[in-house]
Chains A and B, each alone.
Chain A
Amino acid sequence: MDYVFLIPILPLLSFLIILFTKPIYKKAGLVGTTLTGAAFLCSLVVLFSHFAQGNYLVEANWFSIDTVMISVGLEVNPLNALMLVIVTLVSFLVHMYSMGYMANDERYATFFSYLGLFTFSMTGLVLSPNLLQLYMFWELVGVCSFLLVGFYFYKPEARAAAKKAFIMTRIGDVGLLVAIFLLFWQTGSFELDVIFQAAQAGDIAPSLLTLIAILIFVGAVGKSGQFPLHTWLPDAMEGPTPVSALIHAATMVAAGVYLVAVTYPLFSASEVAMTTVAVTGGFTAIFAATIALAETDMKRILAYSTISQLGYMMLALGAAGYTAGVFHLTTHAFFKALLFLAAGSVIHAVHEQNIFKMGGLSKKLPKTAALFLIGSLSISGFPLLAGFFSKDEILATTYGDGRYVLFVIGLLTAFLTALYMFRLYFLVFLGNRSTEAREAPSVMLIPMMVLGVLAVVGGYIQTNWFGTFLGDWLETTPYTIAFVHPEAPFWIPLVASLLAIGGIAVAWLVYGRKTSIEESNERNGLHTLLYRKYYVDELYQGLFVRGSRVVAYFWMYVDRFIIEGGAAAVTYAVKRFGQAGVKLQSGQVQTYSTVAFSGLVVVLLLIAVLGGYF
């Protein structure tokens, strides 16, 4: 356990080594992969020693504000031990995969240095025992995401997407920041433990606690691409595909869910906050799923799918399903990373992202196709795969919590998920369009296979049949949280499975049977609405982007005309006053004596009046 500091340090080392030795080009991937692999091993060791030794915390003084000493530290508890394994594993696999995917990029080394920085920041975030430290890493992962989304910096779309990703998430971050300030003045500390104790002891007024929880959730909404701050995530697909797998599917975007989970004692103390989380999550889940139905870009479909699945996780957390949320986070990390890597393999082979321009690829890329199929089945909740168990857990909790509307939304989303995933699968891999394509090298296939196995078996850590290992372990916490484990009605998994299979069947009827389908440009009203993503981007563009420019121009003109103009008017007045003085200096003795005489009169009058002679 004392070596837990190695987990963030190794990727940091990778970042620094690659940054300062860029000329050694081809070694960068190897260095990064090895060091991240080592970090993964450390995480495994930490996970297993957590089973044996329990929680771990080490802290050191950092700096002081008045008498309050702010510390930095590393904490290991069930939640973040699990996160560490997920983060380092996916990061390791993505590093390895990128050695193939990025092989011909001239900024190969830069790419790996960014990946190292990201892995460092993400593990640092997970290990943080206090909110200030967490916030710092929270922003750092955001910056890594920004750098990697804008990796192809010469593309104008990438530039716009990177900027958007940073700004949209920062809007959320400000909410989190305010929550941290409020908590500090309520509890005098940034330490999560101190804060939770204060909250449990009732030291924070309930209404304020609700406000704080919701502000924290605002941060989570930004990071996890929940409605209404979701628009950056699909655009973030401008980044290289391995990045989408690592940052925008498996780890960073899940940090929002993680944040809610980490501050769960605050949420569970406020019914309003819980409902906010559940409703936002449920709405986002179905909202994004419907957009995915009409999207034509392979990566963007997966991005909307990520938003939707993150919505599921939020729904679970809001419905008191702590384990369900974290469980789905875990399985989602596996199958979504798999889907992105497989999509990357396709893009790598055919250099095309529009699903209507692809087809028949299962013949050319049989391994990728098989792996993509596993991922699609898992995310759709096909019985006995990883996604099935975690989705079932979410649905059961939502039902058990008495949120029936959200439960129905969850079921509908399950159907939609199967539908849009298999629309994608059938269009890309079936049919008999023939495209030139070569299967990816094994350095790319092996990571996908590892994830493929996990996407199949990952669900068995938490089932009602074999045992709820994950839940029993996760829910060992010193705080009194009402963890809900409803006795799920037997029909929920049954209905969910039927809906999943139904979704696949519908996709087959529409897209699977035909040999080749052209993208139609004629869309009816609903289709257009979905295709334009409910016009949210246009709305924001008009409202906020234009709005702030209008305000900016207004102030600029105030600056130019009122402030500078005012200053110019003062200068002008002084100048005129001076010129008037110049006129007096005419050289005529008569003028001078008139002025002198009038002055004398005034003085005498003053003396007479003020002196009291009148």
Chain B
Amino acid sequence: MEDKKQRIRELLTDALPSVNLDSDFLFSELDSIGVVTVTVILSNEYGIELDSSDITPKNFMNLDSIASMVENKLEGK
């Protein structure tokens, strides 16, 4: 889980340099481009499918919740 979180941090730091990834209000920090960027990056990196039902404030609350969402998706594959 920690490895995954670290990898996601690396990917998002590069793609969204103006976003504070340590925030616990990450969904609020992101605009629609940011949300799409996170979604596309995670889909490409982990080969998972994310749709509108996954893009929720709860799933995008912070890096932990994003990593957890990815874990759940991978387990369900």
Are A and B genuine complex partners?
A: no
Interface residues of B (CB under 8 A from A): none
Interface residues of A (CB under 8 A from B): none
